[in-house]
Structure formats: C-alpha cells, structure tokens
Amino acid sequence: MPPPDIVLLDLLLRDGSTPTDNIRRLRSAGCRVLVISTVPDRTRIIESLRAGADGYLTKDNDLPTLVAAIQDIVAGRGAHSPELAFACAYDSSPARPRLSPREREILLDYASGMTLKSAARRAGITVYTAKDYLDRVKAKYQQAGRPAYTKIDLARRVSEDGLDSG
C-alpha cells in the first residue's frame, strides 16, 4: 500500500512518540505533513517546521480553513496560520539567522523564482547591491549551520523559517 500524500498529525500522541521523529519518519516515507494541535506552543511549532512539517494549524480552525490548508500543501505551498506566523516571528534560536528587511525582501523575491536582476529592479537597487544582500543571507545561514548554496536551498530555508507566511 503506498503511503498517503498528506498526513494530519497531532503533536501529542498517546504512544509517547516525539513529534519531530514522527514528522521525519513520515517525510522519509514520502508523505507531506500538516501538524494540528490544541496548543499553539511556539517551540513545538518551530521544531515541527525544522523536522519537515508543511504547515501548522490549531484544532479550533473551521473546516474551510482545514480544506484550504490541505489544498495549499497539495499545490506545493506550505499551510500557514496566524500561530505559525507568530511562532516564526518570535523564533530566537541560533539556527534562524536574523535578516534585515532588505535582505529578507531580496531573499523572498529571489527564492520565489525571480532572477536576481528582477529582484533588484523590484527593490529599486542595482543587481550588484542585490547580490551583496543575497551573499549576506547565505553567509548568515552558513553561520547558523544551515548552508544555502542554491536557489532551491534558499527556497527551503524560506519555507522552513516561515518567512513566506507574512
């Protein structure tokens, strides 16, 4: 039997397993994971994202919100919620580098598929300045122990850190 495409996973299971181990096992089996919990625990939310979860919702969301989250994951986007955005905004772990607003802007545009030239134009700066910002972003991720050498690596960091959620 093939694994399911998406698994809805609670953070607290009776078997005593750890959420991060569960997420890693599911991801290695080829499943996408949407974490659903009753408690918006910032630390657990961040740990879930780092383990590979595609999104996080609290159980008090309505059915249309849950359906939209699943559709976003099926479409290859993460499922974002206010709780996830809050957790990411206040994540102070050393693995999440602090980016300046301009570094973040260039990173988001570039990682979303724009060329560096287009990202620079959109920001109203030269391509050389945009490259400098992008080089700083890469250096910060390198220092945090999460190197990002390619555009795909950078897109993963954007998703892992919830930077694309607002």
Please list the residue range(s) of the chain that carry CATH number 3.40.50.2300: 6-89
pLDDT digits (tens, 9 = 90+) for 81-136: 666 666 666 666 666 788 888 888 999 899 988 999 999 999 999 999 999 999 99
List residues bridging with 146 in a β-sheet: none
- Taking 60 as the threshold, does the pLDDT of residue 166 lie above it? no
Q: Which CATH number fits domain 101-165: 1.10.443.10, 3.40.50.1100, 1.10.10.10, 3.30.70.260?
A: 1.10.10.10
Closest Cα to residue 157, out of 67, 78, 68, 63?
78
130 near 120, Cβ under 8 Å?
yes
Helices within 75-150 (DSSP H only): 82-89, 101-111, 116-123, 127-143
- pLDDT for 44 equals 79
Retrieve residue 128's tokens. Answer: 């050389």
Identity of the residue numbered 82? P
C-alpha to C-alpha distance for 41 and 44, rounded to whole angstroms = 5
Q: Which CATH number fits domain 6-89: 3.10.400.10, 3.50.50.60, 3.40.50.720, 3.40.50.2300?
A: 3.40.50.2300
